[in-house]
């Protein structure tokens, strides 16, 4: 069952931050080969918050890794903006990740020996650039990290660590932010906080966020939800609520 696209989504469709076209990913070879993605075509609109949902083994993480340039597709194309990732060398992919993509992972997001501020500015340091102080202040303000900047990760709570990770992902104004189960390791209160921060990043800072999750309540925060099963897109919900998502996932057997 497909929901009718809402008016807003049709209007902003003009620009896609990232898209996969007929993307296929096969792990291994011969009889043990596993098809993680099966000719997936999907687009992620700029300035919107998209969630990717699906049961374990549905290929949702693989899809994100391929679109983010962390992994390569076996067949098909992946475009970030108008750059075809398949044509890039490792070096160019690295530079692309550094300059145009932000990441938030489920765990081990921060370098333990660096302070919160140093972790946030790490991508700029890697690029040999100084972080714009205004942008840093803006992000730190949005993430509510003002009094935590000098702390090491071990001195921060799980939620605070994840907020530092989000700040790091945002500080360079990336074209797109990928979040991989960002609330997976957090209690429900801290998890909800992170989701709200990602929401504000989209609404207030105009960022594009793509989040992989298996939690319907998390997905409900997004503007759209893409459903995956067995490596294929099986649906899309452009007005997600926890209830509508639950309904969909239960029908998918996830």
Partner 1 sequence: MLFLTLREMRAHARRLAGTSLAVVLGVAFLTGTLVLGSTLRRNFDDLFAGAVAGQDVVVRSETLMEMDSPRGLIDLSLVERVEAVDGVAHAEPEVSGLGQLLGADGEPIGGMGPPQLAGSWTEDPELNPYRLAEGRAPERSGEAVVDRNTLERGDLALGDTTTLLTPEPFEVTIVGVATFGDEDGMAGVTYTGLTLEDAMAQVTGSPDGVSSIAVRAEEGVSPEELAERLDAALPDGVEAVTGEALADEQMDEIADTFLDMMLAMLTTFAGIALLVATFSIYNTFSILVAQRTRQVALLRAIGAGRGQVLRTVVIEALVVGLVAAAVGLVGGLGVAALLTALFDLAGFALPTGGMVVTASTVVAGLVVGVVTTLVAAAAPAVRATRVAPLAALRDAEVERTSPSRARAVVGGAVLAAGVGLTLAAATSEGGNVAVAGLGAVLTVVSAVVLGPVVARRAVAVLGAPVARLRGVPGGLARENAMRNPRRTAATASALMVGVAVVTLFTVFASSLEASLEDTLDRSLASDLVVNDGAWGGGGFSPGLADELATLDEVEVATGLGTGEVRIDDDVKSVSVAEPAELARVADLGVTAGSLTDVGDGRIAVAEDTASSHGWAVGDTVEVTFVDGRTEELAVAATYEVDDLTGGYLLPRSVWERHALQPTDRMVLVDVADGVDLDEAEAAVTEVADRFGGPNVEDREEFTATMTAGVDMMIGVVYALLALAVVIALMGIANTLSLAVHERVRELGLLRAVGTTRAQVRSAVRWESVVLAVFGAAGGVALGVFLGWALVETVSAATGNLGSFALPTGTLAVVLVAGALAGALASVRPARRAARLDVLTAIASP
Q: How far is the CB of 242 from partner 1 (least distance, A)?
A: 26
The 10 Å CB-count burial string (b at 16+, else e) for 215-243 is bbbbbbbbbbbbbbbebebbbbbbebeee
Integer Cα distance of 233 and 42 in angstroms: 8
Among 48, 60, 168, 248, binds partner 1 (CB under 8 A): 168
Within 43-62, the residues that bind partner 1 by CB under 8 A are: 61
Residue 102, beta-bridge partner list? 177
Tell the smallest beta-carbon distance from residue 70 to partner 1 (Å).
5
| x/- track of binding to partner 1 for residues 6-35 (CB under 8 A) | ------------------------------
Minimum distance, C-beta of residue 42 to partner 1, in the bound complex (Å)? 20
Site for partner 1 contains 189 (CB under 8 A): no
Q: Report, in Å, the least distance between residue 197 CB and partner 1.
A: 18
Kindly tell me the sign of the dihedral angle through the C-alpha atoms of 124, 206, 169, 65: negative
Give the span between the Cα atoms of 224 and 221, in whole angstroms.
9
Establish if 71 lies at the interface with partner 1 (CB under 8 A).
Answer: yes
Which residues are CB-contacts of 139 (< 8 A; sequence separation ≥ 6)?
A: 120, 167, 170, 171, 205
The residues that touch partner 1, with contacts defined as CB under 8 A, are: 61, 65, 70-71, 90-91, 94-95, 97-99, 102-103, 105-109, 111-114, 118, 122-123, 125-127, 168, 180
């Amino acid at each position: 069952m497909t929901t009718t696209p809402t008016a807003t989504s049709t209007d902003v469709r003009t620009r896609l931050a990232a898209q996969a076209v007929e993307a296929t990913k096969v792990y291994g070879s011969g009889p043990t080969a596993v098809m993680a993605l099966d000719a997936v075509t999907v687009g992620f609109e700029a300035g919107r918050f998209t969630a990717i949902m699906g049961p374990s083994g549905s290929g949702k993480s693989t899809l994100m890794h391929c679109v983010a340039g962390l992994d390569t597709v076996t067949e098909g194309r992946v475009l970030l903006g108008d750059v075809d990732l398949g044509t890039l060398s490792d070096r160019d992919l690295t530079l692309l990740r550094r300059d145009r993509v932000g990441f938030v992972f489920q765990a081990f997001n921060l370098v333990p020996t660096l302070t919160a501020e140093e972790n946030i500015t790490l991508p700029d340091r890697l690029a040999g650039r100084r972080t714009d102080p205004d942008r840093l202040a803006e992000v730190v303000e949005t993430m509510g990290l003002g009094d935590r900047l000098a702390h090491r990760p071990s001195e921060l709570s799980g939620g605070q660590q994840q907020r530092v990770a989000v700040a790091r992902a945002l500080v360079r104004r990336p074209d797109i932010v990928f979040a991989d189960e960002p609330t997976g390791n957090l209690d429900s209160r801290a998890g909800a906080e992170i989701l709200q921060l990602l929401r504000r990043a989209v609404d207030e800072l105009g960022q594009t966020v793509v989040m992989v999750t298996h939690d319907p309540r998390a997905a409900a925060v997004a503007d759209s939800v893409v459903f995956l099963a067995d490596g294929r897109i099986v649906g899309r919900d452009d007005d997600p609520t926890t209830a509508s998502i639950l309904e969909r996932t239960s029908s998918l057997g996830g």
